Structure 1
Amino acid sequence: MANRTVLGVSIAIAIVAGAGVWVKQQQQEAIAQARLLTDSVGAVETLSGYDSLSAAHDHLQGAIARLENAPKFPRQSELEELTFLRSQLQVVQQKLEPEQKARQNYQEAITRAMSASQLVQNPPHPPAVWEEAQRKWQQTIAQLESIPQHSSTFAEAQGKLKGYRDNLAVVSQYVMRSHQAVELNNRGMEKIQAGDYSAAIVTLSQAVELNPALMEAYLNRGFAYAAMDSHQSALSNYTTAIRVNSSSPEPYYFRGEEYLQLGRFEEALTDYNKAIDLDPNRANAYLDRGLIHYQLDHLEKAAADFSKAAELLNHSQEPALKQLAFNLARDIRATLEVDPVETEQSATSSSMVAEEIEPEEPETIILYRQRRVKANYRSLPSTVTRSRSSSGSRSRSRSRSRRR
């Protein structure tokens, strides 16, 4: 029994001794690895530049982590080592932070510069695009100018600044031209309001010469041409406006209105359909499309459009127009309720020619033709808004024969 006890004690001592040796080895390896990492850093006081400081930061963090994770650490000697390394890391962090900020500003500026360049590719562009590009270049330049001279990124930033300032100067010229075009557009609108359509066309032509992407100028010039009965020129301007901005409902609405005036109902219907797809909340578009459907004998669709217009006008400040839309829908539905067989028999008994019956148009249709409401002209933001008044309407009444 005594021998067994002695043997057990001996084994325990051997295990403890072995563990001690292993711990000592691990401690020595941790110290060696930590010193190897810190030796590669050198004197942190003399370090500069983003890359050098980043590498030193990583090495010091690695050395500290190696010591902190060594078994049975820290002892007094290692505590002193850790304290020294942490102080070195703090020095590096203080020097690295402004370098990181400078590098971040530089990278953000480069990204914004690329965005500004892409924004103005494939001109012409509307004023808002040039203004956005101008803002981006201004922000880019300001961000590069904020990089301190002692930063390692300073030279790179300075190398970009000259080209970026040149780009800003070019874009600023386009911004100035686009603003001048807006002013000319507004003057043209004023001349339209005064009834001086020839002078308006001259002024609006100057506007599109300065900025060929100014959709509103084409719409206004188209209106001026139409007022002078130059309908092909009006249609051409509206079509150009569509090419400039196919996502706006305005040019489709105006071209459709012109087709409607010319009696080209199928083409008018196509444009009104597109305008309503792009802006489904415009009551006037439904009123006009309802009239087109009526002209094409699409009475159910006409009634539906007039009803939709009345619904949209429910909370408007035009109660008379709302009532007219309601009456239009009512009268068209009343027409639909007439029995065509009964009507023809009645016509025969009255010795009328049954093949072609000339019905009376609903009075509301005649009334709507007389007071067709025009769409508002929309000028650019911060400019004077003009609208097409009913007294200046180009609408003309049309009589036609229809079968019941």
Structure 2
Amino acid sequence: MAIPQAIQSAGGIMVTRSDRSTSKKSRGALWGWAAILFLVLGAGSLATSAMSQAFEKSQAALAEAERVKNVPTVSSLVAVGQDLRETMAVLEKIPNVPGANYELAQSDLQKLRASLEEVEYNRQAMESLKAAEDLAMEAAVLVQNPPHPVQVWREAEEKWQEAIANLEAIPADCYVAQKSQEKLSAYRSNRAAIGKRVAIAQKAVKFSNQGSAKISEGNYKVAIQYFDQAVGLNPNLAEAYLGRGIALSELGNDRKAIEDYDRAVKFNPNLPQTYYYRGWSRYQLGNEAQALADYDEAIRLEPDYAEAYLERGGLRYQGELEQEAIEDWEKAAELFSDRGDLENYQIAQNAIAILQNNLELTADEFDEFDDANDANDAELAECEKLAESDSWPETCPPRDKIYVRRRRRRIRILDLPINSGSGSTGDTGKNTGSDTDKNTGSDRSFGSSGSRTRGGSFRRRRKRR
């Protein structure tokens, strides 16, 4: 009888195909374990050495984390944290197989994680301390060489407050808790001192703004008193020097006015109004070249400064630069029109018309013009004399009206006849109203919208011929 091919004899043992398959799987599993054992144990000294180094590094990292507690710095804590993470990454790869020291690795990992948590906790505290110290240094540097404008004091106060907030956020159980508390006390004292400086600077601004209001009323002597108080509290307040200079100029003391304008430039060289008003005073003293330079600078700082174009046009006309004068007056007219100032727009247009039509006044017309203004000046002088120790006399015209008439004497285009037949327009005077910024307390008086003179040097040049 033939033996089926599916059944074969092997030493008396019958082996089926299914038995051979199972045998192959068993041999594969054994080879797998053999490979693992070879990697963990069979790789011999290589595997053992790597694990040994990992455990040594673990102990070293834990020891370094303890050491930096004594003299912690942000950089040292960052370095220790990185070392702890690298060590943890190595130990986390050790498998849970016999002979791999898996339990020891897990024990060290637990210690490393706790140490890393403590290091990170204190690193954040150290960073808060470092940020507070940096802010304190910035605040201290900011207020060196006082006095300063109110904005500077406020900025310093804000830095101290931010530094205090950083210190207050530091936990009481961290490495630098005692040091942060010591600094917190000092920083609070510094903030209080700066707060007093802010109050003084704000008071100076208030006096300056009150002086500005008096200028708008034409009360120059009282305005000067307010400005004196302002610079007494804050000798670096540029706006107060500017205001006092304007008041002095209106009282006829252009030399003293220029001294104040110079101070204003020293403490704030970026105020275009200072150059504008100094240009006027320099022109009054016959320094046309310096006046022109001032108007140039005012326009450079504020390219839309319509009044500066109007004045510079007058000076350029006086210097025989008629085309440049027309360009300035056209620019002034455009800017006045854009902001709806029709009165000054008409003045600029009148200037252009006079120049383009080459109008001349007869000697009789000049005499008539001057006589009328001389009478107005005399009337105002008498009223101001009566008002020095009292309120504005009832027998005098309203202060603002006579003030406007007096200012017409300085307007060298306003009352000149022009071919177009349009009549003369009134002068609105200076717009030096005070507007204190509610957020910063800064003085924003003497805006460029306030024209001191209308028409530049045009009339004076005509009269000198």
Same topology, TM > 0.5: yes
Q: Assess, with a 3 A threshold, how the Cα gap between structure 1 residues 331 and 25 changes in structure 2: closer, same or farther.
A: farther
Per-residue CA shift, 1:239-282, capped at 9, x if unaligned?
Answer: 11111111221211111122234443212101111111111111
- Whether contact under 8 Å (1:253, 1:285) holds in the other structure is yes
TM-score normalized by structure 1? 0.75
- 1:63 maps to a residue whose letter is T
Q: Assess, with a 3 A threshold, how the Cα gap between structure 1 residues 41 and 139 changes in structure 2: closer, same or farther.
A: same
Residue 215 of structure 2 is matched in structure 1 by: 192
Structure 1 position 30 matched with structure 2 position 30: no
Q: Within 5 A, what are the aligned runs for 1:368-383?
A: 371=427, 374=430, 376=432, 379-382=435-438
Q: Assess, with a 3 A threshold, how the Cα gap between structure 1 residues 29 and 332 changes in structure 2: closer, same or farther.
A: farther
- Whether contact under 8 Å (1:44, 1:88) holds in the other structure is no
Residue 348 of structure 2 is matched in structure 1 by: 325
Give, in angstroms, the shift of residue 231 of structure 1: 1.7
Q: Assess, with a 3 A threshold, how the Cα gap between structure 1 residues 375 and 368 changes in structure 2: closer, same or farther.
A: farther
Of the two, which has the highest radius of gyration?
A: 2
Residue 286 of structure 1 is matched in structure 2 by: 309
Residue 85 of structure 2 is matched in structure 1 by: 61
Residue 247 of structure 1 is matched in structure 2 by: 270
Residue 251 of structure 2 is matched in structure 1 by: 228
Per-residue CA shift, 1:131-170, capped at 9, x if unaligned?
Answer: 1011111211221232122111122223333443343233
Give, in angstroms, the shift of residue 194 of structure 1: 3.5
Residue 150 of structure 1 is matched in structure 2 by: 173
- Whether contact under 8 Å (2:432, 2:450) holds in the other structure is no
Q: Within 5 A, what are the aligned runs for 1:173-188?
A: 173-188=196-211
* Greater CA drift, 283-292 or 53-62: 53-62
* Greater CA drift, 303-312 or 271-280: 303-312
Q: Within 5 A, what are the aligned runs for 1:202-241?
A: 202-241=225-264
Per-residue CA shift, 1:179-222, capped at 9, x if unaligned?
Answer: 11111112222333343322221221011010011111111111
Per-residue CA shift, 1:100-128, capped at 9, x if unaligned?
Answer: 21111111111111111111122221110
SS of the residue 2:236 aligns to: coil
- 2:135 maps to a residue whose letter is R
Residue 306 of structure 1 is matched in structure 2 by: 329
Give, in angstroms, the shift of residue 286 of structure 1: 0.7
Counterparts of 1:297 and 1:255, CA distance in 2: 22
- Whether contact under 8 Å (1:134, 1:168) holds in the other structure is yes
In the alignment, which of 300, 309, 326 is matched to residue 277 of structure 1? Answer: 300
Q: Within 5 A, what are the aligned runs for 1:321-400?
A: 321-329=344-352, 331-333=354-356, 335=358, 363=418, 371=427, 374=430, 376=432, 379-382=435-438, 398=460, 400=462
Larger RCO (alpha carbons 8 Å, 6+ apart): 2
Structure 1 position 128 matched with structure 2 position 147: no
User: What is the total number of aligned residue pairs between the two structures?
Assistant: 361
- Whether contact under 8 Å (2:330, 2:348) holds in the other structure is yes
Runs of 5+ unmatched residues, structure 1: 1-15, 337-360
- Whether contact under 8 Å (2:258, 2:278) holds in the other structure is yes
- 1:381 maps to a residue whose letter is D
Counterparts of 1:121 and 1:248, CA distance in 2: 23
**Identity among equivalent pairs (%):** 33
Residue 9 of structure 1 is matched in structure 2 by: none
